[in-house]
């Protein structure tokens, strides 16, 4: 590993990337790419849907790629991730790939209208109920949307590349937002929240961690009192210790 670490962040003008940049700009050498170069002086304009020589060159000179570029068009999202995996695999340096997935890749496991998740939604669940409702990374993919299914494909593709020698960490992010009314608009948001502070801390832990596993899947949320995703794997892999609690935010149950 070089010191400071050279890290390529895709989707650098986006929401989560903003926190990754904040977390890492002092300790790492960052290269930022996005569709346009308006938001950041050092942002390289690169369309990741195109499997380009520029992407190959960037991958070959970095230790880690934090892939956060995202498009609501699932085919674009898939194309970008495929290109990132392929370029990283081609590079002699084999940079590790931190692939953005989502809790929605396993969103089929919970239904806020049914128990035990209804009690969790209403912040009435007992410790025992919470323990039984916790979704671990050992559960098979179970998407609740086309979005979740496309993230599932990216996870499986990562497993394939890991078997070929790439180090891949799949991160199933919880809900990151700038809009605090999400706690009112989104049922159960207090259970899946990933606060700004914890997001920053998460990326700091990520680059400090000595990861030996070829392939890992972790959930990344805050330490929500009524959380439903197991943070144990992120704690073990990255020494990530979340601190914020979505249940302390204002929330009205509309169901
Ligand atoms: N925000 C959340 O709550 C959340 C939750 C779970 C998972 N995620 C996942 O995390 C990742 C980042 O999410 P976000 O909310 O920061 O996304 P975002 O939409 O804020 O940012 C995505 C960035 O990707 C860039 N981009 C789009 N197409 C591109 C292309 N062809 N080439 C290069 N760059 C391109 C956009 O310009 C944008 O700046 C996504 O994969 C998303 O699915 C986000």
The pLDDT of residue 254 is 39
Query: Closest by alpha carbon to 78, among 7, 175, 147?
Result: 147
- Burial class, 4, CB count within 10 angstroms (exposed 0-12 / middle 13-18 / buried 19+): middle
Q: Spell out which residues line ligand 1, taking CB within 6 angstroms.
A: 11, 13-17, 34-35, 46-49, 68-71, 76, 80, 100, 102, 173, 175-177
Express each pLDDT in 28-56 by its tens digit. Answer: 999 999 997 666 667 899 999 998 999 99
CA-CA distance, 229 to 191, in Å (whole number)? 8
The pLDDT of residue 255 is 34
Domains of the chain, by residue range, sit at 6-248
Distance 62 CA to ligand 1 centre (A): 21
The pLDDT of residue 37 is 67
Distance 141 CA to ligand 1 centre (A): 21
In the numeric block, which tokens belong to residue 70? 């995202």
The pLDDT of residue 29 is 96
Whose Cα sits closest to atom 10 in ligand 1?
A: 100
Ligand 1, residue 103: give the atom nearest the CA.
6
Choosing among 3.30.465.10, 3.40.190.290, 3.40.50.720, 1.10.600.10, the CATH entry for 6-248 is 3.40.50.720
In the numeric block, which tokens belong to residue 221? 């949320």
Distance 170 CA to ligand 1 centre (A): 15
The pLDDT of residue 62 is 97
Q: At what angle do helices 146-163 and 74-90 cross, to 10 degrees?
A: 10
The pLDDT of residue 82 is 98
Which of 46, 68, 73 should be mutated for ligand 1, with most atoms under 8 A from CB?
68
Say how far residue 123 (Cα) sits from the centre of its chain. 25
Distance 126 CA to ligand 1 centre (A): 35
Residue pLDDT tens, the chain, 255 long: 456 699 999 999 999 999 999 999 999 999 999 997 666 667 899 999 998 999 999 999 999 999 999 999 999 999 999 999 999 999 999 999 999 999 999 999 999 999 999 999 999 999 999 999 999 999 999 999 999 999 999 999 999 999 999 999 999 999 999 887 888 888 999 999 999 999 999 999 999 999 999 999 999 999 999 999 999 999 999 999 999 999 987 544 433
Whose Cα sits closest to atom 40 in ligand 1?
A: 70
The pLDDT of residue 38 is 63
CA angle 156, 162, 167 (to 5 degrees): 120
pTM for this entry: 0.96
């Amino acid at each position: 590993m070089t010191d400071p670490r050279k890290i390529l962040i895709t989707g650098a003008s986006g929401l989560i990337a903003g926190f990754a940049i904040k977390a890492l700009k002092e300790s790492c050498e960052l290269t930022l790419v996005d569709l346009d170069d308006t938001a950041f002086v050092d942002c390289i304009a690169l369309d990741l849907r195109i499997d380009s020589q520029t992407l190959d060159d960037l991958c070959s000179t970095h230790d880690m790629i934090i892939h956060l570029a995202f498009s609501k068009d699932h085919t674009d999202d898939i194309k970008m991730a495929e290109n990132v995996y392929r370029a990283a695999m081609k590079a002699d340096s084999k940079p590790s790939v931190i692939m953005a997935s989502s809790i929605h890749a396993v969103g089929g496991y919970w239904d806020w209208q049914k128990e035990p998740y209804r009690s969790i939604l209403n912040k009435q669940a007992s410790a025992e109920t919470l323990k039984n409702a916790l979704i671990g990374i050992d559960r098979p993919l179970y998407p609740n949307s086309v979005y979740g299914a496309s993230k599932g494909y990216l996870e499986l593709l990562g497993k394939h590349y890991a078997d070929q020698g790439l180090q891949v960490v799949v991160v199933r992010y919880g809900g990151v937002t700038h809009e605090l009314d999400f706690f009112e608009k989104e049922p159960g948001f207090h259970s899946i929240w990933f606060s700004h502070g914890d997001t920053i801390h998460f990326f700091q832990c990520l680059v400090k961690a000595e990861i030996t596993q070829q392939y890992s899947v972790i959930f990344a949320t805050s330490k929500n009192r009524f959380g439903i995703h197991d943070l144990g794997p992120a704690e073990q892999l990255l020494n990530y210790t979340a601190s914020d609690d979505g249940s302390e935010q204002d929330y009205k149950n509309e169901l």
